[in-house]
Amino acid sequence: MADGPRPPRMRWWGWGDEAEPPALPAHALGFLRENIGLEPAPRAPVALGHVRIPPCALGETVLSELRTIAGTHGVGVGHRDRVEHAAGKGYPDLVLLREGRPDGAPDAVVWPSSHAQVRALLELCARRSIAVVPFGGGTSVVGGIAPVRGAHSAVISLDMGRMRSVVSLDRDSRTVSVQAGMRAPALEEHLAGLGLTLGHYPQSFEYVSLGGCAATRSAGQASTGYGAIADMVLGMRLAAPRADIDLPAMPASAAGPSLREMIVGSEGVLGVITDVHLRVRDAPGASTYEGVFFEDFHAGAQAFRVLAQEHALPDVARLSDESETRLSLALAGGGGVKGRLGRAYIGLRGMGSGVLAIVGFEGSEEAVGVRRWRTMSLLRANGALPVGESPGRAWLAGRFHAPYLRDDLLTQGVMVETLETATRWSNVQSLHRAVGDAIAGTLGAGGTPALVMCHISHVYETGCSLYFTFIARQRPGEEIEQWREVKGAACDAIVDGGGTITHHHAIGRDHRAWMEREVGAAGVDALRALKGELDPDGIMNPGKLLALTP
Amino acid sequence: MADGPRPPRMRWWGWGDEAEPPALPAHALGFLRENIGLEPAPRAPVALGHVRIPPCALGETVLSELRTIAGTHGVGVGHRDRVEHAAGKGYPDLVLLREGRPDGAPDAVVWPSSHAQVRALLELCARRSIAVVPFGGGTSVVGGIAPVRGAHSAVISLDMGRMRSVVSLDRDSRTVSVQAGMRAPALEEHLAGLGLTLGHYPQSFEYVSLGGCAATRSAGQASTGYGAIADMVLGMRLAAPRADIDLPAMPASAAGPSLREMIVGSEGVLGVITDVHLRVRDAPGASTYEGVFFEDFHAGAQAFRVLAQEHALPDVARLSDESETRLSLALAGGGGVKGRLGRAYIGLRGMGSGVLAIVGFEGSEEAVGVRRWRTMSLLRANGALPVGESPGRAWLAGRFHAPYLRDDLLTQGVMVETLETATRWSNVQSLHRAVGDAIAGTLGAGGTPALVMCHISHVYETGCSLYFTFIARQRPGEEIEQWREVKGAACDAIVDGGGTITHHHAIGRDHRAWMEREVGAAGVDALRALKGELDPDGIMNPGKLLALTP
């Protein structure tokens, strides 16, 4: 338990605050029953006390050494602390947590309150052969915080939650330095008071830490306008077991290979990011988010490509495919989306399948006006049918909503999973089809037909992301096997199809094998050499990014 | 000698074609005589035959092994070939070359014609303990291609000049793949035929190779619009002694630390880049470059900062300080710049010192019109006095001119050198002063008072580059000592003053010590570990980026 006030606590078995009401509307249940079938009775998570975790492997000597560094209240070995740090928020994590059988747990949770404490902890752990799993917001969906000890005697979770202050602000340069444990909402609140914003809004926004975002190469929903976290991180401080690396905030540099870009995305395997230096922007005075329809996904993607290559992109650019459009309109139910939008959709279906896009602009009123005018003209010239602001408002209201829905779906015995990639424009349609077919084919063959949806949400001149969501009945008692089959088939389809194994979910434990196929054995060996130098005893986040060495 | 036609050959002792007429106008000589003093008689370079280089250290066995791989015409041991590959185009390189005493020479020059040949050459060199210096355009100004053999028995220059084809083009995705030896002008010519452009225009444009640009983190004069080379390189193929790393062109990825960003800027110490996958854009249908005056450098920098933070930057953004403005107006002489511009300048000097900026826009006619309107409004609101297109035209006409002038200045016994950095906006004025003072102070104390000028030419939301040019009389017989003193003082001022040791000239041999101060010993050790993995025998470009190990 930490001694200062903690950042918001999440349900140990799912997403969001414990008091959060169910998110799934009744008519959605009907839709699911019709389309994929539902279990007869809902399945609630077990009680916290019934979660089975192994006994703490740390002796009193080591625990007292940990307490000497982080303080008595900076070390937790209680059941709840350990369960809360036993897994991330991926689908298999939640399946196992809800059943009360997570895949291990850290032997202790340690909350350092300074860079010096982090350094002392790493040196102690190297000496004592204890694996260290850095823990930011705990939202990994790729097994990035699984408590793997590898060849070590124990594993601790290093929770950065007490290191959550703004260190300094350089207003002229629009840069801010924060401790790595600072949560994104807290930073946005601080910046808002100064008329500034970071503009980083991943779906997990409500819980993520800035250090975690940097360590996992996160990208937010407005990345098209604000850039991904790698564009925002200008420097950082890394505490590695061997030594510190301190990279000041530089607007640009040609001083050799980018050490900054080696630490961004390093997922805790090189060391612990303790400070992050970030670019900020003026808070937008105006914003608008609106909907446009296209005849089909191909037409919408072509239009987005034109926007990117004409430098006319909005800040939020989001294009659903046919099945995601269909599902979101069905689930919107009696909301504001229905009337005019429904008519436009039905009208459009006369000429094709119809897909919905959201385009959003943020900035000064004048800039938003000028940019919006040019973008909407280009969109219309490329087949878009504007349908006003109600889909934009609906998207904005629900932008962080999906993980809450997932909890309710799990209760209903429904598997819901997401995975994502990016590829060049010339390959978008082919990869969209290949991955969709792999998911639908695998789940269909297993007797649990799936709804597979996709959207584009990060757009570049040379290509875009593809984000897949799929829903199917769980195979009771075989949930993990079912997941492993479909995840493997989808990842094969991504890498064989010329996509990157992840656009913004990171590698963690789950994508390791496919990263090797993407960057090759020599690429993996290069990363391993880097790790060998900074973490010679291999205590940092074993088994993530790089396979455990025998 | 290579068997195919070669890329354009440069003067072995300087820049440009041998037939190039002198570039320095007569009135400039007068200006220099008045301001810094001139030697009584010009000093021409020695004849090629008088250049002293050590005998070739390679025996017939190895030479025949090299010829087996690269072909008889792919291996050169002649005097001219070796002298042409003996040094880059930095100031000390040219001083020594002109005196006929370069700091060594490669024992042979090898021109591979395929990735497979590069791989075979690296394996042979590792086996035979021969150092390998990758050679692209040969334009390094930081000793990046100095023929250092380190602990090895010999050193070869690996000239990529025969590997200069376009490999493939993906028009929809706006990507092109080229062999690394392709020169920038050849690629632009190829792309122009397709209505495309890369948009990478470093001052060395006429000679640089794309592989060399990637290896040195080059940034072009229009980087504010098109980005630096790191923004353009989407993937590449690296032949390292240990293995190949093959990174396909991806618009974005979160697959761990960026291997791409480890190879960009690796300066030949990890391996040889053989293919580069680049983002391209539509060739601009319209362009305009124009001049604006500001009261002083501070006011101009503030205005550029506003443009960057309001997302209203032009594609070319260039701001001279007071002394650069003064010198360029003086040197423009009878050109078109004088009349209206001179009057504006003199008028402005009534209220301050007066500095000139160039802003350039490229794109479709409509986009240029819209962007220019907004940018010029913001500039006027921030104190700019627009003075029309003649300064823009003059800049455009002379944008690749400086290295030609340098040759003439060297002939006149004048030292002319440039160095550059980048820093945050809040630090620009202080760093500008500190570096300028260090240069002027050091040269003044040595009895050779200097003209020191500076401009901003790469602009970011959080800061900008600072590019210094300085001119002073040479200290005859002590040219290198004189250079070493002023270079050292300037680099100390940069790093102590919070700048990066290089914004776009790279590290090479000359910036090594300061890079270590910038990224720390642990940062350097991390790079060394990477090199140890990919180049276990240390044959790749010894002594560049990283100090030789004993």
In Å, how far is A241's CA from the nearest CA of chain B?
Answer: 11
Q: Do A250 and B504 touch (CB under 8 A)?
A: no
Q: Which two tokens stand for residue A437?
A: 């077919």
**ipTM confidence score:** 0.95
Arithmetic mean of pLDDT, A399-423: 94
CB A358, CB A397: distance < 8 Å: no
Task: Please state, in angstroms and rounded to a whole number, the distance separating the CA atoms of residues A61 and A221.
Answer: 46
CA B6 to each of CA B121, B207, B213: distance values in angstroms, whole numbers, following the listed order: 20, 12, 19
- A265 φ/ψ sector (left φ>0, alpha ψ -120 to 50, else beta): left
Q: Of A267, A274, A275, A531, which Cα lies nearest the Cα of B526? A: A531
Contacts of residue B507, Cβ cutoff 8 Å, sequence gap at least 6: A254, A255, A256, B142, B144, B267, B501, B515, B544, B545
Q: How many CB pairs under 8 A join A and B?
A: 289
In Å, how far is B216's CA from the nearest CA of chain A?
Answer: 7
Question: pLDDT by residue (tens digit) across A490-518?
Answer: 999 999 999 999 999 999 999 999 999 99
CB B105, CB B121: distance < 8 Å: no
Question: pLDDT by residue (tens digit) across B168-184?
Answer: 999 999 999 999 999 99
pLDDT at B95: 98
3-state SS assignment for residue A349: helix
Task: Please state, in angstroms and rounded to a whole number, the distance separating the CA atoms of residues A161 and A209.
Answer: 8
pLDDT at B339: 57
3-class DSSP string for B420-465: EEEEEHHHHHHHHHHHHHHHHHHHHHCCCCCEEEEEECCECCCEEE
CB atoms within 10 A of CB B477: 8
Question: pLDDT by residue (tens digit) across B459-484?
Answer: 999 999 999 999 999 999 999 999 99
What is the pLDDT of chain A when averaged over all its residues? 94
Arithmetic mean of pLDDT, B6-12: 78
pLDDT at A186: 97
In Å, how far is A313's CA from the nearest CA of chain B?
Answer: 13
In Å, how far is A512's CA from the nearest CA of chain B?
Answer: 9
Give the type of residue at B275: D
What is the pLDDT of chain B when averaged over all its residues? 94
**Residue B67 or residue A333, greater confidence:** B67
Who among A170, A228, A527 is closest to B424 (CB)? Answer: A170
CB B181, CB B209: distance < 8 Å: yes
**Residue B58 or residue B2, greater confidence:** B58
Contacts of residue B193, Cβ cutoff 8 Å, sequence gap at least 6: none
Among A396-400, B104-108, B302-306, name the one with the lowest average pLDDT: A396-400
CB B239, CB A512: distance < 8 Å: no
With cut-offs at 50, 70 and 90, classify the pLDDT of residue A30. Answer: confident
Closest-approach residue (CA) in chain B for A230: B254
Question: pLDDT by residue (tens digit) across A35-75?
Answer: 888 877 889 999 999 999 999 999 999 999 999 999 999 99
CB B13, CB B45: distance < 8 Å: yes
Who among A219, A259, A279 is closest to B462 (CB)? Answer: A279
pLDDT at B328: 85
C-alpha torsion angle, residues B392, B394, B396, B400 (rounded to 10): -140
In the predicted structure, residue A448 carries a pLDDT above the cut 80: yes
Q: Do A502 and B526 touch (CB under 8 A)?
A: no
Q: Do B243 and A521 touch (CB under 8 A)?
A: yes
Arithmetic mean of pLDDT, B151-162: 97
In the predicted structure, residue B1 carries a pLDDT above the cut 50: no
| pTM (2 d.p.) | 0.96
**Strand boundaries in B280-354, DSSP class E:** 281-282, 286-294, 316-320
pLDDT at A1: 41
Q: Do A258 and B170 touch (CB under 8 A)?
A: no
CA B95 to each of CA A294, B90, B137: distance values in angstroms, whole numbers, following the listed order: 64, 9, 19
pLDDT at B341: 64
pLDDT at A418: 98
With cut-offs at 50, 70 and 90, classify the pLDDT of residue B31. Answer: confident
Arithmetic mean of pLDDT, A375-392: 96
Q: Of B430, B360, B370, B441, which Cα lies nearest the Cα of B396? A: B360
In the predicted structure, residue B525 carries a pLDDT above the cut 80: yes
Question: pLDDT by residue (tens digit) across A308-353?
Answer: 999 999 999 999 999 999 988 887 754 434 556 666 666 665 545 7
With cut-offs at 50, 70 and 90, classify the pLDDT of residue A28. Answer: confident
Task: Please state, in angstroms and rounded to a whole number, the distance separating the CA atoms of residues A526 and B261.
Answer: 13
In Å, how far is B307's CA from the nearest CA of chain A?
Answer: 12
pLDDT at B333: 58
pLDDT at A185: 97
Task: Please state, in angstroms and rounded to a whole number, the distance separating the CA atoms of residues B174 and B179.
Answer: 17
* Chain B residues whose beta carbon lies within 8 Å of the beta carbon of residue A256: 217, 265-267, 506-507, 515, 519, 527, 545
What are residue A88's phi and psi, to 5 degrees? -85, -150
pLDDT at B41: 84
Who among B174, B423, B545 is closest to A461 (CB)? Answer: B174
pLDDT at A350: 56
In Å, how far is A320's CA from the nearest CA of chain B?
Answer: 20
* Chain B residues whose beta carbon lies within 8 Å of the beta carbon of residue A266: 256-257
3-state SS assignment for residue A535: coil
In Å, how far is A231's CA from the nearest CA of chain B?
Answer: 11
Please tell me chain A's helix, strand, coil percentages from 3-state DSSP, rounded to the nearest 5: 40, 20, 40
* Chain A residues whose beta carbon lies within 8 Å of the beta carbon of residue B462: 173-175, 234, 249, 251, 279
User: Mutate which of A168, A224, A261 to disrupt the B interface (most B C-beta within 10 Å)?
Assistant: A261
In the predicted structure, residue B161 carries a pLDDT above the cut 70: yes
Question: pLDDT by residue (tens digit) across A6-18?
Answer: 566 899 999 988 8
In the predicted structure, residue B47 carries a pLDDT above the cut 50: yes
Among B40-49, B474-483, B520-529, name the one with the lowest average pLDDT: B40-49
Treating both helix axes as pointing N-terminal to C-terminal, what angle do B339-349 and B390-398 enclose, rounded to 10 degrees? 110
Q: Do A254 and B520 touch (CB under 8 A)?
A: no
pLDDT at A331: 76
User: Mutate which of B250, B267, B504, B509 to disrupt the A interface (most A C-beta within 10 Å)?
Assistant: B250
User: Mutate which of A119, A140, A172 to disrupt the B interface (most B C-beta within 10 Å)?
Assistant: A172
pLDDT at B342: 65
Question: pLDDT by residue (tens digit) across B324-375?
Answer: 999 888 877 544 445 566 666 666 655 457 999 999 999 999 899 989 999 9
pLDDT at A348: 60
Please tell me chain B's helix, strand, coil percentages from 3-state DSSP, rounded to the nearest 5: 40, 20, 40
Q: Do B525 and A243 touch (CB under 8 A)?
A: yes
Q: Of B145, B366, B288, B231, which Cα lies nearest the Cα of A373? A: B366
Q: Which two tokens stand for residue A517?
A: 């196929």
DSSP assignment letter at A160: G
**Residue A104 or residue A40, greater confidence:** A104
